[in-house]
Structure 1
């Protein structure tokens, strides 16, 4: 008798980077955490909202360490594993690092899902790691009520070439390497409103490695980088603004994945967008309630890199991105002013 299994997304109360705690809740939880300033070799720790920790190993190497995991954003187990692994490795790339190995983090309802399904999730993650040129060298698993999968990801970067989200300078242009709308597409999938073309778009975007970030380490004119994930474009741009003590101006016409605008016009929304706006909307100017706000607060599972680059180096960076098959689209600029985000008409 064939065992019938529920869909992966039906077992989770949320999916992908939409599972993240809201920025306000996270700040409250972490406010009393001890800082790492007493450790001389800790180059990047939890004092900032950076994508990964960085520990100096010697004069030419620093270890980039991060972890990321979440509940299913799609029902196909192999795709779920691919998306989760791509998302986890993105934090290493966002720091300018090159991944060297990964460890799997696995929580599964073993009485609900078959070993074959769980195995396909792990195989999906391993396939992405293989594409990145690294092994899944171990990990840890537990019996969990909801399916959870992700990675501990480790990488290397030169200590002088670390990229953080805190170095943006007035005059920089901001470029984004993936269009927005992953959260909207994944919500449509869960509601049975996503067609085959939309699903293909969702998987293609979320499984594309941000390996271009490793090419940015040591590149002249690149002052700050972060990946746009669970807090949406606005949330991660605001982290960049706060890190550098500047104002980030974003265009009201960001790049958008195919099919997303039609879903927005049909009234599709994610709960995370509302939570995000409640957490940081007081530091955002020029954005009224509506589809644009939903899009800019939309949680991006395995989103693109947001790069602050000197205007004089912009054309060269965009050319380098194109050579890697990456679209580096200008979405804003950095100006003098308080730590906030301002949305300006396109």
Structure 2
């Protein structure tokens, strides 16, 4: 059994008449990359701030590495790295000096700190820029500097809040590769993002929260199996009588049929060969059709069904 790195039990955080976190529960095991998803205002940031003891809370318990997390838990905080969405570096310090400063908050020994700083620069591939000031860096390079500042002291738990916002595709790929490498080196990671494909690509487990509650958790595949929509079929048809729409609706596993702008959309809640069954019906009725394609559910479909919202709201 893996060690429990984070344990949150019945966490409650209120702001006057607003309950931002409502009896939230979460357990994260060593070596996980935990994706935390939720629309704006869902309580994600408040939960993370409570976890890091940056905010007090009204009820519940938070443990990190088996110890109660408190504002003065400096021995625990030395093993945590935090990279927030807003880049937090000093404009008056170079790339090297920024990483050295943040690493120095945790590593006092000069020789060891120098080694760690050099390794962090190499890790985020900023070797050619270590004497540059932040204002001279592109958005992607600035994000990578921000990550280096948060991980240079080699933390065991890393919190990454929207680390790929507004960066180019090449930098995004390098950041994702770096996160996977940090995990491979032993770090447990909490990852928030509005990019579903990133979460599905790198996260070993996903938690969906809204209105301060943990609504669902599991692997991407486990979450997809929880929703009604198992397959969506799209067929271009020039004309489709209402009678045929009703008949298609009666096919096994079909629960939704729509026809708009010469496109038939059929949603199925399970089963195999649904596309074949629909096409067989059309051919038997002599209904000609054009382009056909079928889509399996995405993580966005899961999120939309569970929360009723688009993630980018």
TM-score by length of 1: 0.23
Compare CA radii of gyration and give the structure with the larger one.
Answer: 2
Q: Which has the higher strand share?
A: 2
Higher RCO (CA 8 Å, separation ≥ 6 residues):
1
TM-score by length of 2: 0.25
